[in-house]
Amino acid sequence: MSLASQHQSVLLREAVDALDIKSAGTYVDGTFGRGGHSRAILEQLGPNGRLLALDCDPQAVAAGGATKDRRLLIRHQRFGELADALQQTGIEVEESVDGVLLDIGVSSPQLDERERGFSFRYDAPLDMRMDTTQGETVAQWLERANVREITEIIRSYGEERFAFQIAKKIVAARGERSVASTGELAALVRQAVWTREPGQDPATRTFQALRIHINQELEQLALVLPQAMTSLKQGGRLVVISFHSLEDRIVKRFMRHEAAPDVSSRKLPLRAADLPQPRLRLLGKAVRASAGEVAANPRARSAVMRVAEKLAGRAA
């Protein structure tokens, strides 16, 4: 298999083990990236197994298209469009999938390729789109957004306490010329941020917030989780790796809600055995990267993996 391997997949073995691969099973890798998790899944699938891989980044899809493995179906779609992707590839939308893996966030190639504009380490066009075929860039959004809108995004998605000061700097600078490059934006942020944790660039939180916003990352995550639930068979596994507290909060709340008894029926005159049952069973505690993995790949330090198994459901 000739899948590009420059991206180090985080929690690779832990995630694939959590899926509990069945030889003839059907699986979904909602974030193909450069194929690390997909490769490991395919290694455990038999000849009758299937893997549907999604990615909104055309470069990732091109990397996946280089493989000739007939078990792999790869589509240029966001993972929030999971149900549509299943339908388009001839897989039943309801209860047909043995496992769904979601590795949320930006990939190493996206961060490391200067022209993508994700990183303040390089001076490059301020883009940050994961899907470069559609949508507006960060530069275009900053050109039209007002101080209130910029403040809200940076504060909400970056948890940046200097969000208002940063927004004012951006809008003031825009009066002279557009903020069109990563270097220009990073410089403005550094002027506005008075203090920062040791070892963290002042621009880190702002770049993260703008990336999350322009790619609708949290909205996509909220969309895919119920679709994944619908697609899973009884006993199927949902495995989610997140890198940001906001992402992990969405995943944790969703899984806990689906793993809790249906409280809406508690006041009805029903026996406990007749109450609608939880749809998910949580498997173990949240998993984090080992010290060895973090040493080899520092981007793994914030990773959190949560795993759940689908139960029979809440049929009353």
Q: What pLDDT sits at residue 166?
A: 98
Binding residues for S-adenosyl-L-methionine: 35-37, 55, 79, 103, 110
**Strand (E) or helix (H) holding 242:** strand 232-242
- Give the pLDDT of residue 204: 94
Domain that holds residue 41: 12-108+217-310
Annotated binding site: 35-37, 55, 79, 103, 110
Q: Do 97 and 238 reside in the same domain of the chain?
A: yes
* pLDDT score of 91: 97
**Domain annotation covers residue 224:** yes
Residues 225 and 102 reside in one and the same domain: yes
74 and 139 share a domain?
Answer: no
The whole-number pLDDT of residue 107 equals 79
Same domain for 200 and 157, yes or no, is: yes
Query: Based on the domain organization, do 223 and 92 belong to the same domain?
Result: yes
Is there a single domain that holds both residue 89 and residue 231?
yes
> Is the same domain home to 231 and 88?
yes
Same domain (yes/no): 80, 22: yes
Phi and psi of 211, rounded to 5°? -65, -45
> Is 36 inside a domain boundary?
yes
19 and 101 co-located in one domain: yes
Encode 244-266: b = buried (16+ Cβ within 10 Å), e = exposed. Answer: bebbbebbbebbeebbeeeeeee
- The span from the CA of 13 to the CA of 143, in Å, is 43
As a whole number of Å, the end-to-end CA separation of the chain is 47
Round to whole Å and give the CA distance between 115 and 133. Answer: 14
- Residue 2 is predicted with a pLDDT of 39
69 shares a domain with 36:
yes
Dihedral sign from CA coordinates of 154, 158, 164, 166: negative
Residue 29 counted as domain residue? yes
Q: Are 207 and 226 within one domain?
A: no
Is there a domain that residue 184 lies in? yes
As a whole number of angstroms, the distance between CA 16 and CA 26 comes to 13
Q: Are strands 232-242 and 304-310 parallel, antiparallel or unpaired?
A: antiparallel
Task: Classify residue 227: in a domain, yes or no.
Answer: yes
Task: Let me know whether 99 and 40 are in one domain.
Answer: yes
Give the model's pLDDT for residue 273: 55
Structure-token match 């009353």, residue found: 316
What pTM does this model have? Answer: 0.91
Domain assignment of residue 297, yes or no:
yes
42 lies in some domain? yes
The predicted pLDDT at position 314 comes to 53
Residue ranges for the chain with pLDDT beneath 50: 1-5, 315-316
Where among 167, 184, 214 does a domain terminate?
214
> Is residue 120 in some structural domain?
no
The CATH number that applies at residue 191 is 1.10.150.170
Query: At which of 148, 183, 214 does a domain end?
Result: 214
Q: What is the pLDDT of residue 77?
A: 96
Last residue of a domain, one of 214, 235, 256: 214
Gap between the Cα atoms of 142 and 150, Å rounded? 8
Nearest to 120 by CA among 180, 186, 190: 186
Q: Indicate the number of domains in the chain.
A: 2
Specify the amino acid at residue 55.
D
